[in-house]
Every structure is written in C-alpha cells, then in structure tokens.
Copies of this chain bind each other. A is one copy, B any other.
Amino acid sequence: MDKSKLKVKLKSFFPNLDEESLHAFMKHSSYVKSTKGTKLISEGKRHGYFYLILNGGVKSYYSKESREVCMWFAFENEAIGTMTTYEGLPSKETVELLEGSELIRFEIEKIKELSRTSLSVIHLLNDIVIEHTLCIEERLYQLQFMSSEERYNALFETTPEILQRVSLTDIASFLGISRETLSRIRA
C-alpha cells in the first residue's frame, strides 16, 4: 500500500489526529494481508499490535477446554485489539480472521509512547477504549436481561450483516447458547 493512499485512509479513520501524530502513526504501521483462520493475537501470548481492518473481518474469542466463546466480531473500518494486549499483558483472547483480510497493523508500544506526549493520540486511544467498553456493557446487559431468543433478535436487528458473515456456531457462542439451541430458535 503506497504512502499517500495510507495517509488518506488513516485520515478518514482518525479525523482528529494532528498532522504530526499522523506521520508518527504511519511510521509505526505496516500493511498486512492474510487468509482466513490466521491468528492476529493468540491467547496467552504477548503481542505488540493493534489493527485497523481495511477489508475482511475478525472474531475474538476466549477458549477453555476446547470450548470457544466469541466475544466480538469486527469488519471493515473498525479498530481492533485486546484490552490485555493494550496493557502489555498476555492476551486473554484470541483474535482470528473470519475471511481473507487486509489490515493496517500498529505497534502499540510506539503509539503509547506517542500518547505520553500527544493529547490527540491519547484522546484517540481513549475514544477507542470507551466505544469498546460501551459494547461489552451492552452485551453484559443483554446476557442478564434478555432471553436467548430476544438476544438473537436484537443481533438480527442491529447488525444483520454479522449473520451473513459468521458461522452459526460462532454466533451461538457469542449469544451465550449452544449451537443446537440457536438452530431451534431460528426454526
């Protein structure tokens, strides 16, 4: 991906970033293209990156004893990473490509270094964290108050595109139910 195209892309992703930080971001980013199933971040390992999705999609999941539970999905024009990675800890989640995808990868440590002296960078990071937090809070709310059928309908209404691009097994785990139950809800 050439420099000027990258710059336009980053500007549209991060409209509030000042010119100087934008260049620093570019310096610490690289273009990544990879196939379905590739793990951007693996559970238990330390990673130093967060990503922007140019096209394609990813799922994030926790796993325990061969059971996987999806925590979120993300597609074009979304910024992704895990909280634990951001904190410099081994990741609790795995983040994996749902399809062949193109992404921009950023070195977290460099960006965090910038954030120590740049207001526009730390505000950008803060905004990403907050949006993510509001999402999980909503998910937690739905798990506590809505039946599995209501959760499925809510997903169907708010983000129907997910149903087209994610397997029902993954969606079931995301909704907190078994694949068989989801199948029955749909019938």
Number of identical monomers bound together in the oligomeric complex? 2
- Minimal Cβ-Cβ distance residue in B for A139: B140
User: A87–B139 contact, CB under 8 A?
Assistant: no
Q: What's the least CB distance linking A119 to chain B, in Å?
A: 6
Please encode chain A, from 60 to 104, with 1 for each CB lying within 8 Å of some chain B CB and 0 for all others: 001010010101000000000001101100001000000000000
Interface residues on A, range: 20 to 34
Q: Counting CB contacts under 8 A, is A143 at the interface?
A: yes
Q: Is A48 an interface residue when CB atoms closer than 8 A count as contact?
A: no
**Contacts known (A122-B122, A125-B126); A134 close to B83, Cβ less than 8 A:** yes
Across the interface, do A134 and B64 meet the contact criterion of CB distance under 8 Å?
no
**Residue in B125, B130, B139 whose beta carbon sits within 8 Å of that of A83 in the complex:** B130
